[in-house]
Amino acid sequence: MSKKVFAINAGSSSLKFSIYEVPSEEVISSGLIERIGLADSLVTIKYDGNKFEDKLDIADHEIAINYLLEKLNELDIIADYDEIAGSGHRIVAGGEHFKSSALLGEEEIQKVEDLAEFAPLHNPAEAKVIRAFQKLLPGKPTVGVFDTSFHTTMPEKAYLYSVPYKYYEDYQARRYGAHGTSHKYVAQRAAELEGKNIEDLKIITCHVGNGGSITAVDGGKSVDTSMGFTPLAGITMGTRSGDVDPSLLQYIMKKENIDIDQMINILNKESGLLGLSGVSSDMRDVEEAANGGNERAKVAIEIYYDRVKKYIGQYLAVLGGADVIVFTAGVGENSITFRQGVLEGMEWAGIELDKEANQTRDEAKISTASSKVAVYTIPTDEELMIVRDTVALGNI
């Protein structure tokens, strides 16, 4: 019987899944359930070149998974539940506790719930999904893969904020970072493509999608990353501001007569490319508007390039130079002009983009032969990482 492993990415009202056959690592199905807990939940299941869609009310995550398993069986994607060898779950906040992926027993699930303060929309939903899998598929291993684990190797000087130390001691207020699974995957892949041992490389990974973060990877370990206590910090993003002076918040809040929750919501949902351009949070729309002469869209894009370039500069300083720079995620993989805009004028640092080679959306080396720093674009694959960790920890 073939073995199948789920990679699950659950949010507060959505659940994305991929099903892998192992050991071949072939994706046999993937899909999405949206609007969980709301009326008219939407289900999409892709398999074998087909697409199944349904609209019905799904009240919670357990019902969603029950429904999904039944549907997968009906569609003959999973002939028998015994084929399911385990499930891997993306978990947003692992705090200081989860330094690597973990097999999830009751104690670990409780820990995921305890960390809800660090990811209020995500961790509780993820814990519910894990419990549902354990209930519906008893005895099958469930593994947690944490966005933060890869960054737990950061030194104190990178993760502490310059605020009274007691806030760290009392409340674990510190930088945690995010997108760790993606940064780890593309760093490892870049080392493979370079034909070198990752222990011998200094790599700067740029994960730029709707959300985005830049990471300094030294010898395979994250030593600094642009996201902070939450994913609001760092570079300009689709709707998130990235770094701002905290005093600006107080100033705007007084002027607009809004409270801190409203202000943080504006920084999360109404800022970034969207707030600057007034056009969209989607880079394709902003690029189109800029090409059509929209001045604010042009400025938004300039700022986007600028913030990423500055983080690359910081990490060149932190690492003492870099051997490799990698671009990944929606914008990093697909926007040719973005990569060019970010790296323009960095030849002084030994970074030479090959403009011809850069005309790609696939995995490729995009630096010149004479460039001291190798530059790659590498499609990220967080699901594959989740499945690999599940197979390893679940003894599948």
Kindly tell me which of 319 and 326 has the beta carbon lying closer to ligand ADP.
Answer: 326
In angstroms, the CA 183 to CA 328 distance is 9
Kindly tell me which of 271 and 334 has the beta carbon lying closer to ligand ADP.
Answer: 334
Q: How many separate helices (H) and strands (E) can be counted in the chain?
A: 14, 14
238 near ligand ADP, rule: CB under 6 A? yes
Contact letters for ligand ADP, residues 281-310 (x by CB under 6 A) = -xxx--x-----------------------
Kindly tell me which of 147 and 287 has the beta carbon lying closer to ligand ADP.
Answer: 287
Tokens for 222?
Answer: 């994250």
Tokens for 49?
Answer: 């070149």
DSSP secondary structure letter of residue 102: E
Residue 147 annotated to the active site: yes
In angstroms, the CA 186 to CA 207 distance is 9
What's the closest the beta carbon of residue 227 comes to ligand ADP, in angstroms?
12
Residue 331, marked binder? yes
What's the closest the beta carbon of residue 330 comes to ligand ADP, in angstroms?
2
What's the closest the beta carbon of residue 265 comes to ligand ADP, in angstroms?
18
330 near ligand ADP, rule: CB under 6 A? yes
Residue 254, marked binder? no
Q: Which residue is nearest to ligand ADP (CB)?
A: 330
Kindly tell me which of 131 and 338 has the beta carbon lying closer to ligand ADP.
Answer: 338
Piece in contact with ligand ADP (CB under 6 A), picked from 66-74, 145-153, 206-214, 254-262: 206-214
Residue 210, marked binder? yes
The helix/strand/coil state of 295 is helix
Contact letters for ligand ADP, residues 331-370 (x by CB under 6 A) = x--xx-----------------------------------
213 near ligand ADP, rule: CB under 6 A? no
Kindly tell me which of 151 and 339 has the beta carbon lying closer to ligand ADP.
Answer: 339
Q: Which amino acid type is present at position 237? A: M
133-156: b (≥16 Cβ within 10 Å) or e: bbebbeebbbbbbbbbbbbbbbee
Number of residues assigned to the chain? 396
Q: What is the DSSP track for 58-101?
A: --SHHHHHHHHHHHHHHTTSSS-GGGEEEEEEEES--TTT-SS-
Strand order in the sheet with 212-218: 221-225, 212-218, 202-208, 324-328, 374-377, 364-365
Closest CA to 30 of 75, 92, 83, 82: 75
242 near ligand ADP, rule: CB under 6 A? no
CA distances to 71, 147, 317 from 94, rounded to whole Å, are 32, 7, 28
What's the closest the beta carbon of residue 358 comes to ligand ADP, in angstroms?
13
What's the closest the beta carbon of residue 220 comes to ligand ADP, in angstroms?
23
234 near ligand ADP, rule: CB under 6 A? no
CA distances to 55, 278, 386 from 77, rounded to whole Å, are 20, 44, 20
Catalytic, out of 40, 57, 76, 147: 147
What's the closest the beta carbon of residue 110 comes to ligand ADP, in angstroms?
29
In angstroms, the CA 166 to CA 173 distance is 9
Residue 151, marked binder? no
Please give the size of the binding site for ligand ADP, defined by CB under 6 A. 13
User: Could you list the residues that contact ligand ADP (CB under 6 A)?
Assistant: 209-211, 238, 282-284, 287, 329-331, 334-335
Residues designated as active site: 147
What are the binding residues for Mg(2+)? 9, 382
